[in-house]
């Protein structure tokens, strides 16, 4: 298992719910990128970032979601530091507050000052067992 | 490396572009909770914008 980069259980459940005609209408399909300072290894059971930073989540518009391959969903989003920040985790969620955490990535620590911009490109690649 | 899921397997990959307020731009690929610095060319080859 890739260390530190996960498709969460909640994200997997959302995918199943989108396939199910009985549940899909109730699924939020808006996406927001968030960042935080937590550095612990993420777990598939995570439902939030560890220590989300106070900058508002970035709405990820359809133009910033793509499929570079038919089995891959790509989200691209940027966040701007409004003060000195440490950033060590990111995730895509379905709401501007709360929401479902689709994926959770912990990365090397970045020390930011006000005005620094981080752009994340996050790919979710689904494969069968032989791939 | 892949994550086993109910669907089979999944990979979550991440790229980072860091635009510093002083004008510098740095590019990273995330591997096992580490930021591996890569070139702008490699960043774009992997789909970064």
Q: How many Å apart are CA A127 and CA A68, to the nearest integer?
A: 14
Per-residue pLDDT at A28: 87
What number is the ipTM of this complex? Answer: 0.93
* Higher per-residue pLDDT: A131 or B49: B49
Contact assessment for residue A110 and residue B18, using Cβ atoms and an 8 Å cutoff: yes
Contact assessment for residue B12 and residue A127, using Cβ atoms and an 8 Å cutoff: no
Nearest CA in chain B to A15: B7
Q: How many Å apart are CA A114 and CA A120, to the nearest integer?
A: 18
% of residues, chain B, pLDDT over 70:
98
Q: Which residue stretches of chain A have pLDDT < 70?
A: 1-2
B23 and chain A: CB distance < 8 Å anywhere? no
Per-residue pLDDT at A20: 95
| CB neighbourhood size of A51 (10 A) | 14
Indicate yes or no: CB of B9 within 8 angstroms of CB of A124: no
Per-residue pLDDT at B1: 64
What is the DSSP secondary structure assignment for residue A97, as one 8-state letter? S
Indicate yes or no: CB of B47 within 8 angstroms of CB of A123: yes
Nearest CA in chain A to B17: A119
**DSSP E strands: which ranges in A22-96?**
31-36, 58-60, 65-66, 72-80, 85-93
Q: How many Å apart are CA A122 and CA A58, to the nearest integer?
A: 14
The predicted model scores a pTM of: 0.94
Report residue B45's pLDDT band, with 50, 70 and 90 as the boundaries.
Answer: very high
H helical segments located in chain A: 9-19
Residues in chain B with CB shorter than 8 Å from the CB of A68 are: 47
Per-residue pLDDT at B43: 97
Residue indicated by tokens 């089995």 = A71
Per-residue pLDDT at A1: 47
The 10s digit of each residue's pLDDT in B1-30 is 677 877 778 999 999 999 999 999 999 999
What tokens does A131 get? 């791939």
Residue B46 has pLDDT above 90, yes or no: yes
Per-residue pLDDT at B37: 97
Per-residue pLDDT at B7: 72
């Amino acid at each position: 298992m890739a260390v530190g980069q996960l498709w969460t259980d909640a994200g997997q459940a959302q995918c199943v719910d989108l396939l199910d005609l009985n549940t899909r209408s109730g699924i939020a399909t808006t996406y927001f990128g968030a960042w935080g300072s937590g550095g612990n290894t993420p777990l598939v059971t995570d439902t939030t970032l560890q220590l989300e930073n106070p900058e508002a989540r970035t709405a990820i518009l359809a133009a910033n979601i793509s499929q570079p391959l038919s089995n891959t969903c790509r989200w691209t989003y940027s966040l701007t530091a409004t003060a000195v920040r440490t950033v060590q985790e990111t995730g895509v969620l379905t709401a501007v507050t709360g929401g479902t955490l689709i994926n959770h990535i912990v990365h090397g620590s970045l020390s930011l000052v006000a005005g620094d911009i981080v752009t994340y490109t996050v790919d979710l690649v689904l494969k069968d067992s032989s791939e | 490396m892949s994550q086993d899921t109910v669907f089979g397997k999944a990979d979550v990959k991440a790229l980072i572009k860091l635009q510093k307020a002083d004008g510098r731009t740095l590019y990273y690929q995330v591997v096992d909770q580490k930021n591996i610095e890569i070139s702008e060319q490699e960043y774009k080859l992997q789909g970064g914008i």
